[in-house]
Structure 1
Amino acid sequence: MTEAEVLIIGAGAAGLMAARELSQAGKRVVVLEARQRLGGRIYTFSGEGFTAPTEAGAEFMHGEVPLTQSLLAEANIAYHDTAGEMYEVENGQVQASEGMFEDLPTLLEHLQTLEHDMTLASYLAQYFAGEQYAGLRTWVTRFAEGYDAADAERVSVFALREEWAAGGAEDSPRPAGGYSRLIEHLAAACRVAGGQIHLGHVVQTVQWQPGRAQVLCTNGSQFMAKQIMLTLPLGVLQARDGQPGYVRFQPELPTQRAAAQALGFGPVIKVLLEFDTSFWETVGPALQRPLPNMGFLFSDAPVPTWWSQLPEQRPLLTGWVAGPAAERLRHTAPEEVLQQALESVAYLLGSSPAAVREHLVAHKVVNWGADAFALGAYAYATVGAAEARAVLTQPVANTLFFAGEALYEGHAMGTVEAALASGQQTAQKLLACPINPHSA
């Protein structure tokens, strides 16, 4: 039995940020991570035929991210802007694209007049139902489902209004060398301050009472602490008994479980394709529609969103399927998803899957919805999300604390910034909470 003052479940951005704060404040901290690596949904991998570190999870910094920027500066990690042209392909036709951004001012102006929250689907059906708005409806829905991994039937239009007004999607730099460098920085700071991090420890049961909790892992390890912080992904909190990844509480937490169900958590599939050259830049014998200087591309293909590594001249294309489209592929074999990706690239370029495959030197399909320790990619705000977050951010008997990107208040929900901020804020809350074994 290992004892600690604070036990943190999850070594992602929220968990490691909290671990650093608490260990530096003098707490005896132990972090348990189910995976054999740090980072959670931050996953920068090397090898597997790829020529450089590659992001299988979080990749961009969206909008104003002061905490992320401060930590990157502290760790001496640079970041660089994205570059290149934005394209749209619809019905086999290629054109330069502004996406929904050209309609955004008009949309935001109308949204400011809205007095009551509703789902995006209801909003578009009520206020933009005419044929003249067909293009706007398509783009707005695609953007919410693609960028936010949201279900238009559940996502809050008030939350989208706040996010779109902040403009984070138009400004998306990348940390140099990948986000995992930041994760390693936080983990190192935790260890220097005396914190312990145990990988490969899958939490099965949390037995608790006010001022005392015990954690049982599937490998037989047991840990005891006065307080526990759970930075489990929302998908894991939403899991049902018997599902992979499910964590049991004794006694159970029905109010917190119901609050978790009330929030949205979207699946994402990333398809990483590295080629021998950036063959999509110029016309060739088997390529009719080149995409010179392509930065981002949005389309009606099965894998609808793609981006390059520009300004870095690396022949890597990243395919992105999110929201309901990713949900439909949650249990699809990686080989089948790869084939859909190759067919999508071929369609976009006016080529053939065989011709595209000839240039392929490395590939990886990352299906976050099928990952037992994530069961999705990131959260989005539903109608009534504020009330659900308020339940989950309230400590349980000053003993159990929840943190993570899903519980962040602000327009950056679903981002690394949100996870870091939530971890930091929850750590400060824990430090301010006296342990009273008689409280309920």
Structure 2
Amino acid sequence: MEAAEIVVIGAGIAGLAAGRKLAEAGCRVILVEARERVGGRLLTVRPPGSALPVELGAEFVHGRPPELLALLEEAGLSIFEREGELLCHDGTQFTDGGMDESFEVLDALPEEGDRSFDAFLQEAKLPEAIAERTQQYVEGFNAADAGRIGTASLRRQQEAEEEIEGDRGFRVREGYDRLAEFVAERFEAAGGELRLSSPVEEIIWQQGEVHVRLRGGEELWAAKVVLTLPLGVLQAGAVRIVPEVKTEAISAMAMGAAARLTLVFSERFWEPEMSFLITEEKPLRVWWSASPDDAPCLTGWVGGPRTLEAPADDMALVLAALESLGRVFGRDDLEGLLVSAHRHDWLADAWSRGAYSYAPAGALGASAVMAEPVEDTLYFAGEHTDTTGHWGTVHGALRSGLRAAAQVLGSCAQGDSPSASASVGRD
């Protein structure tokens, strides 16, 4: 059995951030990751035919979150702001889509109480077209079920986005994976030990002592553990925690579903100014380009319950997407223009089990509950534990990792030294 002061579970951006901060503070940290790579739900590919990397996981820098921008600058990575027009297609022609009316609905969410967004729409008695369009937007943007996501969390999210200019969007030109790789390098440079392809099966703990059993039977011992497992993994019980903790809060949150597909073409057949396209087509109702970058790529998206419209088979999804785009743009040659197609099924991914989290009605405080340490021994991080209203974002995950590391270090400063405890296990 190998001992460390702290074991961090999960090398997504939350785990990497926590591990780096702890290692740079002088702690002996082992960071274990089930996948053979770092980054978690950051997944970047670089296909021929596109100078711009294709993101299969998190893609955008939402607004100007200071922690994330500072980290990107430290890593020497560049971002460019997304620009262009939002277009809508009603099945026969392009329209302005009336999305401004939907955004006005969201701005008018009640300040008190908490109900499902569907219940709010029914009470608001909006025109059917506006209600349907707004419901689709909420489900798509949040990868959520409008019958579950709460108005209180949506209101908090709106306020949080206003704090960081959330109406602006950016992309990492070199690829989001480079950020994860940079943090991993800094973690190891500070003396941290990174173990890839090391799935955790069981965590057995008592105050001040944790045994982490890996697949294959190897065990790690630590005084403290930081768990950054995605919400979907926690809810599935894929990692056994003995005794169980935070079960009510974990169950209260929801893991959203989404399907996305990026198509790389030999040329652009859409107007260069097009940024986002909202259609009535199935299965992928929202598309976006790389505008203002001229990469010949379109990414299709559907979130929430409508994710079930997307075929599980990759080729079937590609063909359906090409047919729907052909109808929208009046083209019958798109299959011939296609260079490559790229998809990752996060719902079927055993190490994520979903896209990202959201707070159903009544669950606004669940993230704060998960963010509280358990007997100065277990600490939770990940976008689902963000308490600032930025669920489902890279900066929300980053903030949570930094918060968990600060909690660990604060506990040590108060005299609960992991070094003293861990030295017993090394003998």
User: In the TM superposition, what are the counterparts of 1:280-359 in structure 2 within 5 Å?
Assistant: 280-281=269-270, 291-302=271-282, 303-327=284-308, 329=310, 332-352=312-332, 355-359=333-337
The 8 Å contact of residues 257 and 304 in structure 2, kept in 1 or not, is answered as yes
Match of 1:32 in 2: 32
| Matches of 1:299 and 1:196, distance apart in 2 | 47
User: In the TM superposition, what are the counterparts of 1:16-415 in structure 2 within 5 Å?
Assistant: 16-47=16-47, 52-97=52-97, 99=99, 101-105=100-104, 107-108=106-107, 110-112=108-110, 114-129=111-126, 133-165=127-159, 166-167=161-162, 170-240=167-237, 246-253=238-245, 256-278=246-268, 280-281=269-270, 291-302=271-282, 303-327=284-308, 329=310, 332-352=312-332, 355-415=333-393
Change over 3 Å in CA distance of 1:293–1:432 after alignment to 2: same
Q: TM-score, normalised by structure 1?
A: 0.88
Structure 1 gap segments, 5+ residues each: 241-245, 282-290
The 8 Å contact of residues 64 and 166 in structure 2, kept in 1 or not, is answered as no
> Quick check: 197-206 or 214-223, which moved more?
214-223
| Matches of 1:139 and 1:160, distance apart in 2 | 16
By how many angstroms is 1:259 displaced? 1.4
| Matches of 1:186 and 1:149, distance apart in 2 | 28
Q: Match for 1:152: what amino acid?
A: A
Change over 3 Å in CA distance of 1:106–1:320 after alignment to 2: closer
SS of residue matched to 1:386: coil
By how many angstroms is 1:403 displaced? 0.6
SS of residue matched to 2:364: helix
| Matches of 2:49 and 2:296, distance apart in 1 | 13
Q: Match for 1:71: what amino acid?
A: L
Q: Match for 1:276: what amino acid?
A: S
Match of 1:433 in 2: 411
Give the number of equivalent residue pairs: 411
The 8 Å contact of residues 46 and 52 in structure 1, kept in 2 or not, is answered as yes
The 8 Å contact of residues 46 and 53 in structure 2, kept in 1 or not, is answered as yes
Q: Match for 1:26: what amino acid?
A: G
The 8 Å contact of residues 35 and 197 in structure 2, kept in 1 or not, is answered as yes
The 8 Å contact of residues 305 and 321 in structure 1, kept in 2 or not, is answered as yes
Change over 3 Å in CA distance of 1:119–1:262 after alignment to 2: same
| Matches of 2:40 and 2:308, distance apart in 1 | 20
| Matches of 2:145 and 2:20, distance apart in 1 | 35
| Matches of 2:49 and 2:331, distance apart in 1 | 24
Task: Quote the RMSD (CA, aligned, Å).
Answer: 2.0
The 8 Å contact of residues 52 and 173 in structure 2, kept in 1 or not, is answered as no
Q: Match for 2:407: what amino acid?
A: K
Q: Match for 2:103: what amino acid?
A: L
Q: Match for 2:138: what amino acid?
A: A
The 8 Å contact of residues 50 and 362 in structure 1, kept in 2 or not, is answered as no
By how many angstroms is 1:158 displaced? 2.0
| Matches of 2:105 and 2:53, distance apart in 1 | 40
The 8 Å contact of residues 296 and 306 in structure 1, kept in 2 or not, is answered as yes
Structure 2 gap segments, 5+ residues each: 419-427
By how many angstroms is 1:194 displaced? 0.2
| Matches of 1:181 and 1:432, distance apart in 2 | 30
SS of residue matched to 2:60: coil
By how many angstroms is 1:337 displaced? 2.0
